[in-house]
Structure 1
């Protein structure tokens, strides 16, 4: 139906003209003209605009929509959808465009196609939502290009830069058919965020705050912040609690995710809870990964939380080639979770050796001082026997004073050294295996030898378990080594 002819007939107040298609069939009417209608009536302009957008080719007819000639023209949803589709095709010219969006949901269909819900948010408010599709063949190409980063990028919470074609379907609406994902652009965005965080922390003078905290000499109470079940978390626990020296540690776990959009806020909350438990040190660990995996550890609020933590924070984020901002603001950074555990064990061994050395030195010094005082007293006694009678009384008085003073000093020195030795014995006792057993640990022995590696055992081996109170015998049903995951 030609909207111009219909509306012109209606506005003039006369009988509405028949559609031009009917006129042409009957041989009536003038040849259709392009351009605006003669009369500049508002109704004419509105309907002319609608006709131009919805029916630029004059394809609408009486069979595809219902109209009330004297009042308004009504279009079907399919006509509107078809018009929108043509408009999008005309604007985009079928080209792929570059977009940036966050994946709020991702599912993979049984045929291998990947379906994404894409969102744009600002200050916690959603500005736009759109569907995205990555067809199976192209998904394989994109995943191969992303390599080890594929799983990290193609997940909910990840912000991606991608090229795609705009597609419109009358039933499913507008969607984006993804053709490529620009890893370099995403890494660049992550690096930009990292540098912005660094610049802000430098301006605030927060880079060295946690590093200025004093580290306790004995690091036994550990607050562990990480994701249980990950390889880095497991490696830390194995190396710390199964150390070859049999040193005991008290570890309290504060569970959190370590990657993804939600990770920074969760880690901040875990750090606060860890600090409130008053440990000797807080340990933040994460397994290895790509540069994008470190993005959560470049978050400004997370790094501020580390800087302001009242307890020294040790990091073992596990990235060999680069440091995150979290590493830079922490008290001490290690390359891997295993290195953190080894560092804690080495620190305790060093302190234990130093305590034992001090104990030996004080004991030797006390015995030497007592021997010297006895020798001096004997010498004075012998001298008094050889002196004339007139000096004997004076020397006796002097000797009495010296003896009293010597005994007093020796007694005072002995008491001080005894007290210090008692304190050192208490410290050494705290590190003994019996006290470790008292905290709930046990020692496994096979054929009379302590078992330090599960790989030395076989199924059906009989092992003896020593507890703080008593012993037990157990049969090995299965063996899992560290290499088995």
Structure 2
């Protein structure tokens, strides 16, 4: 470069201060800016937040800038945002920020965020929810889970929850200690129930249950003991579509009563709390029991009705036969009397000569009539006895079938299994299904039909290995 007097040379600081003056002159007031948070970058030590902002169109980045929210401002903005949206400020959100454009020679260009319009984000979330709802209906997923046939006795239940949550404990307490003594087979599939990671966690639990659908009658997603914050994951189209397509009926009870989420909308049925879900399953057992009682009553009533009907027909048949026999006897008697009169009036001699034969014929006729009556009466008795015997056999067979089914149900109950000599081993109230679940020193609790015993594991052996 020539060192002619006309050539101007600027320092880096000169350029930086010039840009600083120009930006402070032209951008002297804060501006509302619509943007997406690509990365939040919160530093817990200082409390400052350095979000990376981006604008995209059809997946392509049109613009990106670095911003800053000072710690005191970040605390205020975060609390206000969460109070309005019921969701913490997080990456991937479209937000409306109020920011000052600044430039410093040392730190470069930056947007100093002083406020965030939470109502705008709330509107964007509502808009996204409506679009997802429309898509669920367009793809015929909205009512898909509701069309599944719910089992009459939902005994085997897969639970997606957190073992330490209050809602899960309430559910267990009610369903395990129901006053009717109904026994349920429950298995917990732990998952995160709120926050951004909940979508993946719940989806993974559903996929695991899907590989064992033959082992369960229904699935329930229960959450309790927390507020409504973090529930936006249940408005995710991905999670809602997985629930809608699930091959087993899904019952939701995520513990809130306002703004029904997409997941709750697409489940087989939605209950507000885990307690309501527990009572729902108990009520289905009661419905089945009442149906069985009604069938039993209907069967008894039908048998009694058929017996009365057969008895009435027998009586009617007996009366009809008796009436016909009486009429026949009266007719023959009348005919005999007429014959006697004719014989006496016209042929006295003939009457005398044939009197003995007619008398004999009369005796024979009476004997045959009486014998015929006795034969028919015996036949009626045999028919009556056969009907009673067959009816009794039907009643006995049905009664034996009911007793057999009842005995089988009793034999399959856990109490009867324990009485047959089997035992149940638990460690920390968790059922032990394999020796691999035990380790030396575990406190083992062995349940018998009449009590339990506690012991300590000294040694375990599996497949010939110590």
TM bucket (normalised to shorter chain) is 0.5 to 0.7
Unaligned ranges ≥5, structure 1:
1-5, 11-15, 21-57, 65-75, 443-464, 475-485
Match of 1:348 among 275, 281, 285: 285
The higher radius of gyration belongs to 2
How far is the alpha carbon of 1:107 from its aligned partner? 3.2
Unaligned ranges ≥5, structure 2:
323-368, 427-444, 455-466
Matched, 1:410 2:392: yes
Q: How does 1:452-467 map to 2 (within 5 A)?
A: 467=447
Matched, 1:321 2:258: yes
**Which is worse superposed, 359-368 or 321-330?**
359-368
How far is the alpha carbon of 1:399 from its aligned partner? 2.6
How far apart in 2 are the matches of 1:249 and 1:263?
Answer: 27
- The equivalent residue for 1:18 is 5
Match of 1:201 among 117, 126, 136: 136
How far apart in 2 are the matches of 1:322 and 1:436?
Answer: 47
Q: How does 1:49-198 map to 2 (within 5 A)?
A: 60-61=9-10, 64=11, 76=12, 81-82=16-17, 85-86=20-21, 88-102=23-37, 104-116=39-51, 131-146=66-81, 148=83, 152-155=87-90, 160-169=95-104, 172-198=107-133
SS class of match (1:153): coil
Q: Structure 2 length as normaliser, TM-score?
A: 0.66
Q: Give per-residue Cα distances to partners, 1:220-240, cap 9 Å, x unaligned.
A: 111223444444444333333
SS class of match (2:42): strand
**Which is worse superposed, 403-412 or 113-122?**
113-122
Q: Give per-residue Cα distances to partners, 1:286-312, cap 9 Å, x unaligned.
A: 44544x744322222322222222221
How far apart in 2 are the matches of 1:302 and 1:86?
Answer: 51
Match of 2:451 among 471, 474, 484: 471
How far apart in 2 are the matches of 1:214 and 1:316?
Answer: 20
Matched, 1:276 2:256: no
Change (3 A) 1:92 1:252: farther
Matched, 1:258 2:240: no
Matched, 1:216 2:196: no
Change (3 A) 1:252 1:89: farther
**Is contact 1:213–1:312 with CA below 8 Å preserved after alignment?**
yes
How far apart in 1 are the matches of 2:425 and 2:64?
Answer: 54
Q: Structure 1 length as normaliser, TM-score?
A: 0.64
**Which is worse superposed, 272-281 or 331-340?**
272-281
Change (3 A) 1:471 1:369: farther
SS class of match (2:97): strand
Change (3 A) 1:470 1:294: same
How far is the alpha carbon of 1:188 from its aligned partner? 0.5
- The equivalent residue for 2:236 is 299
Between the two proteins, the alignment pairs up a number of residues equal to: 383
How far is the alpha carbon of 1:256 from its aligned partner? 3.2
**Is contact 1:257–1:267 with CA below 8 Å preserved after alignment?**
yes
